[in-house]
Amino acid sequence: MIQLQKISRHYPVGFGKNYILKDIDLTINEGEFVSIMGPSGSGKSTLLHILGLLEEPSEGQYLFEGERVDKMNEKKRTQLHRGSIGFVFQAYHLIDELTVYENIETPLLYKNIPASERKSRVADVLDRFNMVAKKDLFPNQLSGGQQQLVGIARAIVGEPRVILADEPTGNLHSDQAKVIMQLFKHLNEQDKITIIQVTHSDLNATYGNRVIQIRDGHIHE
């Protein structure tokens, strides 16, 4: 599903280059639950951003479902963001001015889905996450765990093929983290969504079925 070939990412320092990622070759198959681990500054977040098309690689090729997507134009990239990739952030990134319901609805608005279908899909997701009672609350009225649930609900409402999660439990305490991780596992197993997470926690990594270690821009599997 995802193929990285000789992917590098660097930025100029003086006369030379500082590599964050160097010659990464990586293949992720559909239905995998991958955990990317490594110390701070090892390049794992950069890797995730490249996977999510938020950042372009300096060198190498990126094939998403067999199609080259590094150097893709803005419009096509937007289409992938709308249809195939869902994001979950450490800081949740909910829109403070919108209610739970409206936050979850937002990606569907960008996909131009008709109102009736939007309604039923958001209702489904709310139901599934047991959040129907909270649908009219604003993010600041929720606990961190609940906010991240909304974040995940928003990520899956567009029915993506892959979810990219950047330390999804980083701001949560262990009980909440457990709930979130179980949810990911469930999504991976039941809904067959490919999940790639960046995490520091060995415990969280055990929910997945593959661990990628990054150190100094290189992969050690």
Partner 1 sequence: MLKSYLKIAWRNLRKQKVFAAVNIIGMSTALCAALLLSLTAYREWTYDNFHENGKNIYQLISEEHTGSQLRTGSSMAKPLAVAIQKEVPGVKHTSFIAGNNTPVRYGANHYYLSTQLVDRDFLDMFTFPLIKGNKKEALSQLNQVVLTQQAATSLFKDAEPVGKTVELNLSGQWQPYIVSAVAADVPDNSGIEFQLLTRLENDPDFNTTRNDWGAANFPLFVELEPGVTPAAFEKNLNIIVKKYYKGKIEDLQKNGGAGAHGKDVFYISALGLKDFHLTEGSTFYSGLNSFYPWLMIILSGLIIAIAAINFINLSIARSFGRSGEIGLRKSLGAQDNQLMIQFWAEAFLLCCFALIVSLALTAFLMPYYNQAFGHRLALSVFRNVWVVSGVVIGFFIITLLAGGYPAWKVARLNILQVLKGKLGLGKSSGVRNGLIVVQFIVAVVLISCTCIIWQQLNFIQSAPLGYNTSQVISIPLDNATPSDISTMKQRLGEMAEVRSVSGSMLNLGLGNDGSSGNWTRGFTYKDRHVATKCVAVDYNYAQTLDLKIVAGRDFSREYGTDSNAIVINELMAKQLGEKDPVGLYFKMGDAFPVHVIGVVKDFHFESLHNKMEPLVMVINAPLNYIFVKVESPNAVASLKKITTLWKSINSLAESDPSFLDENAQRLYRQEQRFSKIFMSGAVLAVIISGMGLFAIAVLVMAHRKKEIGIRKVLGASVSGIVLLLSKDFLRLVVVAIVIATPAAWYFMRRWLQGFEYHTSIHWWVFALAGLIAVGIAFLTVSLQSVKAALANPVDSLNRD
The residue range among 20-28, 36-44, 78-86, 186-194 that interacts with partner 1, by the rule CB under 8 A, is 78-86
Q: What is the separation of C-alpha 148 from the centre of its chain, rounded to a whole number of angstroms?
A: 12
Site for partner 1 in 155-214 (CB under 8 A): 158
- Type of residue numbered 73: N
- In the complex with partner 1, the residue whose CB is nearer, 50 or 187, is 50
25 in contact with partner 1 (CB under 8 A): no
What's the rounded Cα separation, in Å, for the pair 213 and 221?
Answer: 6
Q: What is the separation of C-alpha 177 from the centre of its chain, rounded to a whole number of angstroms?
A: 16
Let me know how many helices (H) and strands (E) the chain has, helices first.
7, 10
- In the complex with partner 1, the residue whose CB is nearer, 82 or 185, is 82
Q: What are phi and psi of 59, to 5 degrees?
A: -140, 160
Structure letter (DSSP) for residue 221: -
55 in contact with partner 1 (CB under 8 A): yes
What's the rounded Cα separation, in Å, for the pair 107 and 2?
Answer: 23
- In the complex with partner 1, the residue whose CB is nearer, 91 or 132, is 91
Residues 80-119: x/- map of binding to partner 1 (CB under 8 A)? Answer: -xxx---x-x-x-x-xxxx---x--xxx-xxx--------
Least separation in angstroms between CB 85 and partner 1: 8
What's the rounded Cα separation, in Å, for the pair 133 and 101?
Answer: 10
Residues of this chain that bind partner 1 (CB under 8 A)? 49, 52, 54-55, 74-75, 78-79, 81-83, 87, 89, 91, 93, 95-98, 102, 105-107, 109-111, 154, 158
